[in-house]
Structure 1
């Protein structure tokens, strides 16, 4: 356990930041999952809408919980899946 006042504060701040980051990651995962479910169901319109929503959520997470290139790769793979549906 931390003894210094600043160390105790850092523990509290870290826990708060972890909670926020976990929530952001969860939003990205949920959005990506919705795209996958829409592509598996075969509904092109809902898949396109879900992709647009997922891309927005993924790109908003850049710099916070995800590097730019990982986000671009994730969006690219989802877009490729939706494009295959045609």
Structure 2
């Protein structure tokens, strides 16, 4: 297992579901009529490091190496799906 699917509800500060299977995640979202984003995250690495290793991001400024930047970093290149009331957007 090299990745996990994480669901973040549209008004949530923290994830509300973690899934090994995309099908299971989509079924849970549909059954509960949820709105939010389902994103595939790499396991055992940070998104910041993964993005650099895969050529999606190159730090170009000293601020890009600060803990506050790394800790809040996200990458639009991660596979993701948007949902509204349980239906894929």
Q: TM-score, normalised by structure 2?
A: 0.30
Structure showing the higher helix proportion among its residues:
1
Structure showing the higher strand proportion among its residues:
2
Which structure: larger Rg?
1
Q: TM-score, normalised by structure 1?
A: 0.30
